[in-house]
């Protein structure tokens, strides 16, 4: 359909501009799949330019287009830079593995999207190097699904594997890493890469009766990916502690609804239903249409193992503000250097699910539950893959950060407040500092900048004050020639992201890596 619209774009825009923009954005993943990522970048840039051009007409159009819902595409396509969370490590990305990293927009969504997200982040980072002699680490991108399976099960076992990955043998792979978005490889499959670091959501699983586990000495546990729109929705259901009527909640698949949970012996899910069904302040069972509402109104979220040790329910609990009760004996939680897990969660043995657990949860004072919830929400930024982008430049004013040029923040995640002093960027930021409504971001167009939203060149200046829910991750629209975006971001906020925690773990692994002269010498 996009192919039909684009040749007659002017007439299509006259008929329904926001319909055209929506069509481009909603089919962007298909464009990437069928025509490649460069074509997807072209169309995403076009959608940005059109949205900026027609934005002022959106409110009166009643068209249901929210640009912030597509911000994840913008990041996946490399529209924003990042500082690799301030890490001094240099990372080399293999181009020889391109055949394992196609369809980024399709593989980069949903709970198994981490591999695509991390690849996009590294590609856009200041730590990237194309000189293998300068590299501290080597990244092998392989996206979840068929590409990941082909990489592990076929290509790494071929005789010419050293030609494909020429630096693998240098330190026996100990300076290489790849991402496991799901399904740990067996030791037989992993043999050529047995010393390579895995950034993995899985800590333990059994497939085909073969146990697989991660190594805490070399591998890094990471969270599953949660879509930006889903995080926004979950947070909208997050109730204060005083307004939560459920003690505990669990709704999801179990051996009675899905044979996968029978195969993998997820008996703890059956135990939850047997123990808590029918208790008035306990909501347990299969999927329900008001799942988000129940999660946001419960003090504790039960997080049982699923077909493997991990489940995305654990990371969702951070955005629902629902204290997780982890019921997965072999689950290793991620980022234990950065996150104080005992202060914000409970880990309980699978075989003791029943009256003892219920009694334990009822005995926890409401004040402690509120404190655990507060800590949970403070740590949520470590599980949001949309955090950690942007670069604070040395010349940026203290407490402020500039984003990519020629862009503006127009999404509903950043509410319009008023206009400020547009005589200079300093004056504009000063207007934000003085704003009584909590301004934390400005869109600024400096005096003398050419601006032509109506098609006529004119010299204008503008300072727009906005209040963002999270100024460390504003949804931006490109194609805004001459505009600048500045947001108030503390160093603490800038350092709270999954990428910051990942780099902290990678630096620790590199520091303590065993010395190796390689496989052979003479």
Ranges of CATH 3.40.50.2000 domains, the chain: 228-383
Tokens of 470: 């999270």
CB 438 within 8 A of CB 467: yes
Q: What DSSP string describes 246-292?
A: EEEEEES--TTT-HHHHHTT-HHHHHHHHHHTT-TTEEEES--TTHH
Using CA atoms, how far residue 444 sits from 220, 224, 419, 449, 506, in Å, is 41, 36, 10, 10, 38
Task: Report the chain's mean pLDDT, rounded to a whole number.
Answer: 92
- Quick: pLDDT tens for 155-180: 889 888 888 899 998 888 999 999 99
Beta strands in 47-89 (DSSP E): none
CB 442 within 8 A of CB 432: yes
CB 308 within 8 A of CB 265: no
What is the 8-class DSSP label of residue 46? H
H-assigned helices in 134-266: 146-153, 161-164, 187-190, 228-236, 259-263
Would you say the pTM of this structure is higher than 0.85?
yes
* pLDDT-wise least confident of 138-152, 264-278, 437-451, 454-468: 454-468
Q: Which helix (H) or strand (E) holds 204?
A: strand 204-207
In CATH terms, the fold of domain 228-383 is Rossmann fold (3.40.50)
Can you give the pLDDT at residue 2?
Answer: 65
- Quick: pLDDT tens for 204-249: 988 778 888 899 999 999 999 999 999 999 999 999 999 999 999 9
Residue from 319, 300, 456 nearest 377 by CA: 319
CB 486 within 8 A of CB 429: yes
- Quick: pLDDT tens for 426-483: 999 999 999 999 999 999 998 876 654 444 445 589 999 999 999 999 999 999 999 9
Q: How far apart are CA 105 and CA 396, in angstroms?
A: 32
Tokens of 233: 């929705």
Q: Is 371 exposed, middle or buried (0-12, 13-18, 19+ CB in 10 A)?
A: middle
Tokens 């195969």 belong to which residue? 263
Q: How far apart are CA 185 and CA 375, in angstroms?
A: 34
Can you give the pLDDT at residue 449?
Answer: 67
Tokens of 288: 């329900």
Written in H, E and C, the secondary structure of 433-484 is: HHCCCCCCEEEEEEEEEEECCCCCCEEEEEEEEEEECCCCCCCEEECCCCEE
- Quick: pLDDT tens for 85-99: 999 999 999 987 788
Tokens of 81: 């830079």
Q: How far apart are CA 159 and CA 117, in angstroms?
A: 30
CB 248 within 8 A of CB 301: yes
Q: How far apart are CA 292 and CA 290, in angstroms?
A: 6
Tokens 């654990």 belong to which residue? 314
Share of the chain above pLDDT 90, in %: 76
Q: How far apart are CA 177 and CA 172, in angstroms?
A: 12
Using CA atoms, how far residue 263 sits from 183, 208, 308, 363, 467, in Å, is 15, 10, 11, 35, 49
């Amino acid at each position: 359909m996009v192919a039909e619209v684009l040749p007659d774009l002017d007439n299509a825009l006259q008929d329904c501009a926001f319909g055209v923009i929506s069509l481009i954005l909603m089919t962007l993943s298909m464009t990437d799949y069928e025509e490649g990522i460069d074509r997807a970048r072209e169309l995403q840039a076009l959608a940005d330019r059109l949205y900026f051009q027609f934005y002022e007409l959106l409110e009166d159009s009643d068209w249901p287009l929210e640009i912030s819902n597509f911000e994840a595409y913008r990041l996946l396509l490399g529209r924003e830079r990042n500082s690799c969370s301030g890490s001094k490590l240099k990372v080399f990305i293999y181009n020889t593995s391109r055949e394992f990293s196609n369809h980024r927009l399709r593989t980069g969504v949903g709970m198994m999207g981490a591999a695509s997200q991390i690849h996009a982040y590294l590609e856009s980072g200041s730590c990237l190097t194309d000189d293998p002699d300068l590299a501290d680490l080597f990244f092998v991108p392989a996206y979840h699904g068929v590409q990941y399976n082909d990489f592990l099960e076929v290509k790494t076992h071929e005789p010419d594997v050293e030609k494909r990955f020429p630096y693998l043998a240098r330190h026996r792979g100990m300076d290489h890493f790849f991402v496991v978005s799901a399904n740990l490889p067996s030791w037989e499959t992993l043999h050529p890469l047995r010393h390579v670091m895995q950034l993995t959501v899985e800590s333990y699983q059994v497939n085909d009766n073969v146990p697989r586990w991660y190594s805490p000495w070399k591998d890094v546990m990471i969270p599953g990916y949660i879509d930006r729109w889903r995080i926004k929705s979950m947070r909208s259901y997050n109730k204060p502690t005083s307004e939560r009527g459920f003690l505990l909640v669990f709704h999801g698949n179990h051996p009675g609804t899905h044979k996968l949970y029978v195969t993998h012996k997820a008996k703890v899910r059956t135990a939850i239903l047997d123990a808590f069904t029918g208790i008035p302040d306990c909501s347990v069972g299969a999927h329900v249409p008001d799942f988000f509402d129940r999660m946001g109104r419960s003090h504790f979220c039960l997080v049982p193992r699923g077909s493997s040790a991990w489940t995305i329910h654990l990371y969702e609990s951070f955005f629902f503000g629902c204290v997780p009760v982890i019921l997965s004996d072999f689950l290793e939680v991620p980022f234990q250097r950065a996150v104080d897990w005992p202060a914000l969660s409970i880990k309980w043995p699978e075989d003791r699910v029943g009256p003892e657990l219920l009694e334990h949860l009822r005995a926890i004072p409401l004040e402690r539950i509120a404190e655990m919830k507060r800590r949970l929400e403070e740590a949520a930024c470590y599980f949001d893959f949309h955090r950690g982008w942007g670069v604070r430049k040395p010349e940026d004013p203290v407490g402020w950060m500039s984003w990519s040029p020629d862009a503006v923040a127009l999404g509903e995640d950043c509410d319009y407040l008023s206009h400020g002093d547009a005589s200079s960027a300093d004056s504009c930021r000063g207007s934000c500092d003085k704003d009584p409504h909590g301004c934390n971001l400005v869109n600024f167009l400096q005096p003398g900048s050419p601006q032509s939203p109506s098609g006529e060149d004119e010299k204008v200046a503008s300072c727009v004050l906005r209040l963002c829910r999270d100024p460390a991750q504003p949804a931006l629209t490109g194609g805004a020639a001459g505009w600048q975006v500045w947001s108030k971001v503390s160093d603490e906020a800038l350092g709270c992201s999954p990428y910051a925690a990942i780099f902290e773990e990678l630096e620790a692994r590199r520091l303590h890596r065993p010395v190796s002269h390689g496989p052979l010498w003479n």
